[in-house]
Each structure stands twice: as structure tokens, then as C-alpha cells.
Amino acid sequence: MTGIRDMNAEEFKALVEVVRKASNEGELTLAAEVCQGGEDEFAALAVTAAPGAAADIIWICEGDKSYLFSERTMTRRYAEAAALGASRDPLRMIAATVRSESATYPRPTRLETFHDRPFCLSSEEITTAVARMRADAQYADIATARASNGAEFLFSSNHLSRDQAVSMAEWLAVGQCDNP
Amino acid sequence: MAAFGGWTGKTLRVNLSTGTVQVEDTIARYKDVLGGTGVGYKVLWDEVPARTRAFDKENKIILGTGPLTGTGAPSGGRTSITTIFPAVYPDELVATGHMGGGWGAELKYAGWDNIIIEGQAPKPVFLAIVDDKVEIRDASHLWGNGIYHATSSICQEMGADTQVAAIGQAGENQVRLSVVMTGFSHSAGGVGGVLGSKRLKAIAVKGTGSVRIAADKKEWKQLIQYTLSIMGANNQHVVPSTPQPWAEYYAPGSRWTARRGLYWGAASPAVETGECRPEDLHRMAYRTAKATFDLGPNAEKYTVRMGGCVSCPIRCHSHLDVPAVEEKYGFSRYAASTCVGWGGRAFFKSFPDGARGQASIEAAVVGKHLADDLGIWTHYSQLQRDFKYAYDNGLIKANLPGSEYRSIPWERYDNGDPGFLKEIYTRIAYKQGEFGSAMGEGSGRLAERWRFPAEYYKQQGTNWWKMGHPKHHSSEEGGQTGVLINMMYNRDCQCHSHSNFLGNGLPVKIQKELAAKLWGAGAVDPDGNVTPMNIDKARFAVWSVLRKELHDSLTLCNWMYPLAASPLRSRGYEGDNGIEAKLYSAVTGDRKDAAQLDQVAERIFNLHRVLTMRDMAAMDMRTRHDTAPDWVFDYPPDRKPFTPGHYKMDREDIDSARDLFYQLLGWDKKTGAPTRASLEKLGMKEVADRLERLGLLTA
């Protein structure tokens, strides 16, 4: 595998195309799989060897891994979620997603969400992770809200009150269906 | 050629008593109210005597298109049907049913903007329109048949490309909850009985003309592309329902349900909806995969494709193939519908295999065929809620003669058997027995007839709002804004302007940023955390109502417009508040900006108001009309308004909401009635004069 600092302009552009193609398919590119080197070297080459050729390519780090994506076809929010999904640390992934949604929208997060891409957890994985989170102090803010039809949601008490979370869970699982 | 584009320039008046037809100049008589509901309100105000009842011969029914109908303006295929509405209770008052499909566009291609139906035919007839040739034809052979047969027979007679709007047995029998239906699945609720009372089975239209657009081709094409670029999915939801690479945000309740791995499973071969990125306008029709949204994940394998109205890129009607419906119940396995059109399943308390299992889907399809063939209106599912309430509280048993009660196989209902629906719908359509006669009357008359207890009107779950109709996106969507909108109409308000925006899926911070530009940031609260009333919410409510009237008159679909938000991150998710005005100006050549067009909508809304006052013989709309049920203020009982976790309203706060709403429209705060000044500002001096003669103008 060619190191970034050794690439010529054409090789660098080819690398960028690989990243773009993966992003268009909804996939992150693991930096270590396509090149040797770090974000600084990538940025330097993007300026000197192929000016403007990689303006849409973004590096993100999750744990000890770095990923590349093109913001032409993938948002940073999705990329970060995908990187979390790739970490295969369901507790951290679930907690980060729940905290983000409780703060951003705000809304509680339905457990079924974690079946979807980019999380791709099985029902068993979700159930196990939620059970483990309940016993782990670093996830003390992650709480459960249930709708009257049994649908289960998680929310972060740092961002949503229980009353509001329960009300929204009921609306999302039952109210919206009854008021189309 | 008419001076303006859009309108054909001709309105058809048909007197069924005399068998005569007349042609009127649309521009001269109706341009100031655009079309659709505007024309309907004007005709009823000008021509129908006060206190006329829905099935009186003196009542008129107006099928109205507008300048945008049939032009190719996106989602511009609707028809408004306005009349004195049978299900309003206790007074029968003005209201409108709306239908999509292709009928309205065909009417324009035939050279007509509106049809005014008056009088009563001596025998069953249908109206056959082929361009400027209009005939009142015998319908004896169709009377007594369902909508499916009537539509097919007329198409055999006039040609397969005929667009037919018809009533079923329910309409013929003047069931108050009955529809006018076109295209086998596009229904205008509540107005079928009025056609039945006039012995008018159907209106069939074939047109070979076109609608002139004032703008040059390049301008028009650019405007259409621009409009499409800021449209989302059904209900103008602008984010997908699942996380997707291209999307910064997502919302599980969004109707933008397309995603990788979701299929039209009964297509041959199956079609993957895939990701439908906002910039890919060629995939707009895949965005709203509605069958799974309406009926659950099991509906994926039954979905053949999505369909919808003429010139609408948002295909919200699911076309299904459910073989078991034919095998088990003898109805066609093929069905198309959307939303509460699948509401047959809502009669049941449970199904053997769960709320979204196979039996539920079969009930949806069986119910669709029965309701749409017999021509029954389920009243935004209030028919189903009332049925369950009456059954659960022993009111059916208490009010039916014993023999009639025993003739109904209740065990099939208790077992969740979709075949039971035939018992319900057939009895209602033919007004069979006490059950059929009462259930089709609508909530107000049913509750009175069967002496529903006082709790019915006060319980949150019954959805009762007022005057015989249910809530429709009320306090649970926008707090006071939803309440105000629901107060203003005589039927369920059918307004989606506010709920489209609030349900668009964007984070509340962005919604507030967008709201700040339109009504003020205070218009939007975080979901489930209602704050006290403010002027921004009143502006949001007035805007919502005026845009609804505008859409029903232009016509544009209020299940898509207004386009206050967009799916485009590059625009900061901003839509275009002036898109209706841009389309109107381009089509007609009558250049108006958003504020000027809103003023026309305000004129139309004021016509609705004065018509209501006239027929209620009341000036005091504030206490007699603009009301909300107790549950809005009392539920949940253990919570205080303006605390998180509920939508409980405060009576004094809603009083101030009324004040602000009236203030913005220039109406009298004490009564909620338009004033001379507010009417004359809208060019309605004659209306003010007449209101004064009726003793209904405030001092």
C-alpha cells in the first residue's frame, strides 16, 4: 500500500475517487485500508499535489480508527453514526445516539432504530446492551420510556425530562398513527 | 381566449329540476375568489337561502377546480365540493369535501372551471360532459348500484378515458356519512348524500382541450423544476424516516419512508425504493412508500406500486395485491388507497395476529372495497371510534331491538374477523334497521339518538371536537395553534398547513429558525412542551387557515403545500412561502405576491365565516362556534398546563388565543365576527351591507 506522502497527484485522485464511491454507497472508508499516513499528510498533499481535488473528503476518528468520507454524498452526522456502528461497541453507540437525539430534535429514540443502517444491531444485541447500560454508571442518564402499545424508547435525562420523553414516546408510537 | 391563463373562463350551471344548463363567465363572477371553495362559498352566500338544510331542494352543490388545476403545477389535481354539509350538527352549515384523482383536470380540459348543481331531478340521472356538450342522461340502470359498477358502466358508455365522480348506495339513500368518489379511491367526504338528494348519480367528464398557461414555456418549466426541488415526501416531510447517508436528520414518523432494502414487493419483478436523495427528482415518486407506513411492515410484500393524483409527484396511494382478500372474502385482491381510506381495520379492538398482522391488512382492504363501493364516509375514522365506544359501553345493545341485535354476528367482531365489516358497511349504506340508520348519521346525531353519556363529549379518546365532528390535528399538534384552527370550521377542519410543518422531521431549533422568518420563533414549541399563547402562534394559526383556503381554491393539495420547509440543506431547509403566488402568477398572468394572494384567501375565509353566521343566525361566534371540548382543558386531570409531557390547555390562555386570532383578522374580539372595516378592507362591502340587514354586523 502506498503511503500518502509518496503518492503522486494521479494516485491521490484515485484514492479520493475510492472514498467518494464508497460514500455514495453509504459506506465509510477505513483509512488504514486505502493508504498509509495520517490526516495531516492527506491535507498537505491535497494542497500541494492536487489542489482542490479532495475538498469534499473528510477525516473522522472513532476510537483508534480513522475513516474517510465524501461530504458530497454523506453527511458528517451519518458518518459519525456509521463510525460508531463500526466500533461494535453497542453500549457506546446506543448512548451516543440517544444523547444526540435527546439533545438535537429533541426526542426519545425507539429501540427499533438500532436495527437500521448504520447501526445494524440484532434484537438480542439491543436487549443485551440496554440491560448492561442499566448497570453501568457511565450510562446513568440513559433511561427508558414506554408507549401504551409497548413500544420502548430510550432518552437521556441530561436533555429530556421523563414527562416529556414519555409523552413523546406515546405520540411517536401511538398518537401519530391515530392522527394520520 | 380568456384574458387570463389558468381559468377556462366558463362555469357550468345545471338545474336538475328544469333540466337546463347555463354557461357563466368565471372571470367576471368568480375571479375574486379564485375557484374551488371560494366559488362554493360565494354561490351559497349569494344564492342559497339562509337556514337551508343539506337535503333541501334549495341547497346547491358546487364542484370547483381552480386556476392551477390541470396545469401541471405539482400536486394541482384536486377538486373542492362545497355545499350545506349534512353531517354538521345540530345546524347544517357550509363545509367542503375534497377529492384528488384526475376528475378536476379533466373538467378543465373539457373547458369548465366549476359546476354548480341546483334543483332536484325527477328521476335518477347522471351528467355527461364531453367538452362543451353537456347532457343530463338517464341513470335508472345505475341507481341502486355501487360506485365501482356505476363508474365502469359509464366508462363503457362514454369511453375508457372518461373521468367519473359518482355516489354509491349510501349517497343515494342520503346517508349523512357518504362520499363522492372518483378513480375508485379518491373521495370527497360528507357530500355524497347531497347528490343523492338531487338524484344525481354521477358526473362524467371527457375533455380534449388544454389549460392555457400565461408564462412562456421556459419560465414555466423552470418554475416547475424549482417547485419540485423544494418538495419533500407526503405531508411535506423533508427528512427520511431512517438514518441515510445523504440526510443530516431523520425522523421515524416521516412519510419519506424509502430506503435501501424496502421494496414494492408485489411488483414483478420487485422494485427497490432505494435511497431517494432530494436532488434526484426522477425518484420523487419512490419517496413515499406509504403501504408500510399505513399498514405496517407486512404490507411491503403486497405493494405493487404507488399511485396518486394527476400531476402529483408524490404518490401517496398504495396499490396492493392481497390474494387472501379474494380467497377468503370474495372481494377483489387488488386495491388502492391511502391513510384513513384503509380504516376498515380501525373498527376492530384487536386481531388474532396483532395490530399490524395479516388480518389487519385484510380488514384494511375489505373495508376499503366496502366503503368505496357503497360510498360511505368514515369521517376521519370517527365512525370507527363511535362504533367502538357504543359497543364497549353497551349502547348498541341498549338501542337496537333485540332481534336486530341478535341478527348481527358479534362473535365474528370479537374474533377480529375482517368479513364482519360487510355487516357494518352494508347496514349503514342501506340504512338497515336501527344500527344502519343511526351509525350513518354522524357523531352528533348518533350521540343524541343513542343518548351517549356526557362523558363521551369530555373524554380525550373519543376525539369528539364539536358540532358533530372529530378533532383534526388539534392541541397535540401546535398547542393553541391547533386548537384555533379546529375551532374555525364546521366539520373536522381538514387543515394540514400547521401539521405538515410541525411534522416535517427537522429539529426544533431549525423549525424555530424557519418559523422566525414567517410568524416569529415563538410559533413553535418543542413537542410535548407547550408554552403559553403568544402572537407568533396566532400568526401561525391565521396563516395555516388562509393557506388551506388558498389551496382548496387554487387548487393545490394541502397535504403537500405550503412548502414552508424543504429537504435542501443548502437552503438551510427553508422552503418558499411564496410558491403558491409564483405558480398562480405564472399560470394566470395576474401577478400577485404572497401577501396579495393571502388577502384573497382571507376574503374566502371571511365568506365561510359570514355564511356560518348567517345559517346559525348568530353573531356571537366566540361562545357559540369557536369552542373546544372539555378534554382539551381537563386531560390529563393530574397535570397543570404548560408543564412538560402533555398538551393540556388552559381556558384563559385559549381566550387570549381567540383575542389574538380575531385581532389579526380585524374581527370583533367580543363576538369573533367580521366587522364592516375588516370586510371592506377585503372588498366585501356588499357582504357587510347584507350582514347588517340580517342584524349580524357588529356595532
Indicate the average pLDDT of chain B: 97
Beta-bridged to residue B94, according to DSSP, are B84
pLDDT-based confidence at residue A35 (cuts at 50, 70, 90): confident
Q: B370-398 burial, b for 16+ CB within 10 Å, e for fewer?
A: bbbbbbbbbbbbbbbbbbbbbbeeebbee
CATH number of B252-464: 1.10.569.10
Residue type, A66: S
CA distance A103 to A83: 20
Answer yes or no: is pLDDT of B639 > 90: yes
User: Which triple of cell numbers denotes residue B668?
Assistant: 370583533
**ipTM of this complex > 0.90?**
yes
Q: B235 vs A34, which has greater pLDDT?
A: B235
CA-based end-to-end distance of chain B: 46
Is B528 close to A167, i.e. CB distance below 8 A? yes
Determine the residue of chain B that is closest to A112 in CA distance. Answer: B252
CB B515, CB B509: distance < 8 Å: no
Residues B650-685: pLDDT tens digits? Answer: 999 999 999 999 999 999 999 999 999 999 999 999
A107 touching B (Cβ < 8 Å): yes
Looking at residues B689-698, what average pLDDT do you find? 97
User: Which triple of cell numbers denotes residue A69?
Assistant: 468520507
CA distance B668 to B647: 28
Please give the full DSSP string across B171-225, using - where no structure is assigned: HHTT-SSBEEEETTTEEEET-HHHHHHTTEEEEEEE-------SS-HHHHHHHHH
Answer yes or no: is pLDDT of B433 > 90: yes
A159 touching B (Cβ < 8 Å): no
Q: Return the sign of the alpha-carbon dihedral for residues B615, B619, B623, B627.
A: positive
SS3 B82: strand
CA distance B208 to B107: 10
Answer yes or no: is pLDDT of B545 > 90: yes
CA distance B567 to B557: 18
Residue A107: CB atoms within 10 Å: 27
Is A106 close to B247, i.e. CB distance below 8 A? no
CA distance A30 to A27: 9
When scoring B242, B280, B474, B513 by the number of chain A Cβ atoms within 10 A, the one with the most, hence best to mutate, is B242
Q: A178 vs B387, which has greater pLDDT?
A: B387
SS3 B299: helix
**Chain B, window 485-504: residues with a beta carbon less than 8 angstroms from a chain A beta carbon:** 503
Q: Reply yes or no: is the peptide bond before residue A180 cis, omega within 30 of 0.
A: no
CB B127, CB B142: distance < 8 Å: no
Is A179 close to B243, i.e. CB distance below 8 A? no
Looking at residues B283-312, what average pLDDT do you find? 97
Q: How many CA atoms does the CB half-sphere of B657 hold within 13 Å? A: 29
Q: Which residues contact B342 (CB under 8 A, 6 or more apart)?
A: B294, B295, B364, B365, B367, B368
Say how far residue A145 (Cα) sits from the centre of its chain. Answer: 23
For the purposes of burial, counting CB atoms within 10 Å of the CB of A22, is it exposed (0-12), middle (13-18) or buried (19 or more)? buried
Residues B237-285: pLDDT tens digits? Answer: 999 999 999 999 999 999 999 999 999 999 999 999 999 999 999 999 9
Q: A39-68 burial, b for 16+ CB within 10 Å, e for fewer?
A: eebbeebbeebbeebbebbbebebeeebbb
CA distance B540 to B560: 17
pLDDT-based confidence at residue A46 (cuts at 50, 70, 90): confident
Q: Nearest 5°: phi and psi at A46? A: -60, -30
CA separation, residue B674 to residues B57, B680, B698 (Å): 30, 10, 8
Q: Tally the residues of chain A.
A: 180
CA-based end-to-end distance of chain A: 55
pLDDT-based confidence at residue A48 (cuts at 50, 70, 90): confident
Residue B210: CB atoms within 10 Å: 12
Nearest to B88, CA basis, from B511, B681, B455, B625: B625
Position A178 scores a pLDDT of 85
When scoring B241, B279, B476 by the number of chain A Cβ atoms within 10 A, the one with the most, hence best to mutate, is B476
Residue type, B130: V
In which region does residue A161 sit, left (phi positive, over 0), alpha (psi from -120 to 50) or beta (all else)? Answer: beta
B297 touching A (Cβ < 8 Å): no
Position B575 scores a pLDDT of 98
For chain B, what percent of residues have pLDDT higher than 90?
99
pLDDT-based confidence at residue B423 (cuts at 50, 70, 90): very high
Q: Reply yes or no: is the peptide bond before residue B643 cis, omega within 30 of 0.
A: no
Domain B10-206 has CATH 3.40.605.10: no
Q: What is the 3-state secondary structure (H, E, C) of B381-440?
A: CHHHHHHHHHHHCCHHHHHCCHHHHHHCCHHHHHCCCHHHHHHHHHHHHCCCHHHHHHHC
A110 touching B (Cβ < 8 Å): yes
Position A180 scores a pLDDT of 87
CA distance B463 to B444: 12
Domains in chain A, ordered, with CATH? 4-82 (1.10.10), 88-178 (1.10.10)
Position B512 scores a pLDDT of 98
Looking at residues B387-393, what average pLDDT do you find? 98
What residue spans of chain A are helical by DSSP H? 9-24, 31-34, 39-48, 76-86, 90-104, 123-134, 162-170, 176-178
User: Which triple of cell numbers denotes residue B248?
Assistant: 443530516
Residues B125-137: pLDDT tens digits? Answer: 999 999 999 999 9
User: Which triple of cell numbers denotes residue B540?
Assistant: 401561525
Position B2 scores a pLDDT of 54
What is the nearest CA distance from B53 to chain A, expressed in angstroms? 30
CB B99, CB B91: distance < 8 Å: no
Q: What is the 3-state secondary structure (H, E, C) of B608-672?
A: HHHHHHHHHCCCCHHHHCCCCCCHHHHCCCCCCCCCCCECCCCHHHHHHHHHHHHHHHCCCCCCC
CA separation, residue A70 to residues A29, A98, B350, B381, B623 (Å): 10, 25, 48, 47, 59
For chain B, what percent of residues have pLDDT higher than 70?
100
Answer yes or no: is pLDDT of B182 > 70: yes
Residue type, B281: L
Is B244 close to A78, i.e. CB distance below 8 A? yes
For chain A, what percent of residues have pLDDT higher than 90?
77
What is the nearest CA distance from B375 to chain A, expressed in angstroms? 21
Is B644 close to A107, i.e. CB distance below 8 A? no
Is A78 close to B473, i.e. CB distance below 8 A? no
- Residues in B closer than 8 angstroms to A81, CB to CB, are 243
Domain spans, chain B: 10-206, 252-464, 465-491+493-693
pLDDT-based confidence at residue B1 (cuts at 50, 70, 90): very low
- Residues in B closer than 8 angstroms to A75, CB to CB, are 245-248, 569
CA distance B350 to B292: 19
Q: Return the sign of the alpha-carbon dihedral for residues A88, A90, A95, A97.
A: positive
CA distance B408 to B412: 9
Indicate the average pLDDT of chain A: 93
* CATH topology assigned to domain B465-491+493-693: 1.10.599
User: Which triple of cell numbers denotes residue B603?
Assistant: 376574503
User: Which triple of cell numbers denotes residue B43?
Assistant: 354561490
